[in-house]
């Protein structure tokens, strides 16, 4: 059986597909999967047998409706038994239409949009845990008779190139022989209302014991600049990773950490998928929406209880303005509270 699977973005959502694909291929040796995604995400699927990655650059090679038809013709050179849409957006809808015209059966993920809307609406919220994203992925495969459950982490396998680059980075920073406790901190997220705040991060750094070495992870140029500012203030305690390494090397480095502290972000998912104990801070969003760090306990989650802030969660992705105007969901979380979690969270590495 050969399957064509779509999941183009975002980074965390693509990464969460890794344990699902591993589970399906492990249980069903007769299955071959071709996954269509963006080139920068291919590293997540390193080392998975019977999985082929079709890396697509939509912005350059397959723009617009004509570009999608060109992509369909390219993909349709291989005969597939099923098309599995784990994305459900306009692009995948049009691509599915083309494939269905050619007689290929398709199934689509149920994103639970109405349930998430009920969880995040301003009034009369329905506070209940919704299926995790990986459960929704699994359910889509089960609709074509491929039912399975997830195995144990780690799910992402660091590449040899990534390992070599990470080792070189550690050697350059004279860290290979140290006995320090390695804590990763990823202080940013895609949307501001999911960010605890640099003032809080700096306060936490002043509280951390001297034997803790902090690796600072980030993303874009603005984030890298802000992280450099933190490092200048805490030069002996911090190492800047943001902007210094390719993603493959960052994955290899994260795998070596004792613990990771993140926001509700892609770094949270990557650390958890690598099997690293991951402490996550939640503000405008909530784990109930189905995006919590995989295989992490509730004790690893830091958030203001819903009974104290019934306006939470105000959105699924954290992209809506704060209704109160004071970002209380983040500001009420104190550095000492986070410190206690960092120290208390069991280290399973």
Name the CA dihedral angle for 188, 244, 231, 239, rounded to a multiple of 10 degrees: 100
Selection from 46, 54, 43 nearest residue 4 by Cα = 54
Q: What pLDDT sits at residue 348?
A: 46
Query: In this structure, which CATH number among 3.30.70.270, 3.40.50.2300, 3.40.50.2000, 3.40.50.10420 belongs to the domain 160-344?
Result: 3.40.50.2000
Q: What pLDDT sits at residue 345?
A: 54
Quickly count: other Cβ atoms within 10 Å of residue 89's Cβ: 12
CATH 3.40.50.2000 is right for the domain spanning 2-142: yes
**Quick one: which H or E segment has residue 185?**
strand 181-186
181 - beta bridge partners? 212
Domain locations along the chain: 2-142, 160-344
> How far is it, in rounded angstroms, from Cα 167 to Cα 249?
9
Q: Tell how far CA 165 is from the center of its chain.
A: 22
The pTM assigned to this predicted structure is 0.96
Q: What pLDDT sits at residue 178?
A: 74
Q: Which of 125-139, 165-179, 248-262, 328-342 has the weakest average pLDDT?
A: 165-179
Q: With 90 as the cut, is the pLDDT of residue 160 above it?
A: yes
Residue 262: helix, strand or coil by DSSP?
strand
Tens of pLDDT, residue by residue over 203-229, are 999 999 999 999 999 978 889 999 999
Q: What pLDDT sits at residue 219?
A: 77
Q: What pLDDT sits at residue 136?
A: 98
> How far is it, in rounded angstroms, from Cα 225 to Cα 98?
45
Q: Tell how far CA 158 is from the center of its chain.
A: 16
Residue with tokens 């590495």: 349
Q: Which residues contact 305 (CB under 8 A, 6 or more apart)?
A: none
Tens of pLDDT, residue by residue over 82-122, are 999 999 999 999 999 999 999 999 999 999 999 999 999 99
Q: With 80 as the cut, is the pLDDT of residue 77 above it?
A: yes
Asked if 44 and 53 count as a contact pair (C-beta separation under 8 A), the reply is: no
Tens of pLDDT, residue by residue over 294-308, are 999 999 999 999 999
* DSSP type of residue 346: P
């Amino acid at each position: 059986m050969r399957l064509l699977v779509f999941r183009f973005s975002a980074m965390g959502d693509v990464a969460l597909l890794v344990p699902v694909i591993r589970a399906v291929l492990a249980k069903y040796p007769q299955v071959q999967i071709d996954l269509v995604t963006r080139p920068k995400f291919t590293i997540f699927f390193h080392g998975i047998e019977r999985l082929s990655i079709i890396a697509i650059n939509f912005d350059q090679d397959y723009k617009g409706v004509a570009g999608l038809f060109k992509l369909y013709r390219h993909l349709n050179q291989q005969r597939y038994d099923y098309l599995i849409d784990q994305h459900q957006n306009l692009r995948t809808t049009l691509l599915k239409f083309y494939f269905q015209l050619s007689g290929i059966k398709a199934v689509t993920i149920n994103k639970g949009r109405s349930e998430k809307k009920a969880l995040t609406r301003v009034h009369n919220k329905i506070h209940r845990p919704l299926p995790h994203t990986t459960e929704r992925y699994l359910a889509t495969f089960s609709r074509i008779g491929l039912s399975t459950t997830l195995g144990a982490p780690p799910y992402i396998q660091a590449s040899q190139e990534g390992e070599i680059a990470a080792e070189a980075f550690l050697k350059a920073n004279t860290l290979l022989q140290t006995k320090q406790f390695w804590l990763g901190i990823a202080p940013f997220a895609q949307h501001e209302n999911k960010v605890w705040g640099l003032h809080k991060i700096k306060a936490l750094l002043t509280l951390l014991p001297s034997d803790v070495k902090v690796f600072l992870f980030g993303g874009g140029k603005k984030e890298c600049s802000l992280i450099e500012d933190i490092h200048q203030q805490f030069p002996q305690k911090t190492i800047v990773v943001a902007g210094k390494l390719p993603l493959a090397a960052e994955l290899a480095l994260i795998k070596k950490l004792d613990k990771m502290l993140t926001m509700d972000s892609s770094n949270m998912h990557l650390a958890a998928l690598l099997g690293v104990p991951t402490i996550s801070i939640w503000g405008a969003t909530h784990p109930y929406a189905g995006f919590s760090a995989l295989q992490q306990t509730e004790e690893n989650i830091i958030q203001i209880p819903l009974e104290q802030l019934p306006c939470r969660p105000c959105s699924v992705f954290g992209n809506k303005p704060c209704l109160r105007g004071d970002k209380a969901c983040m500001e009420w979380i104190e550095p000492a509270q986070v410190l206690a979690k960092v120290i208390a969270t069991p280290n399973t590495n």
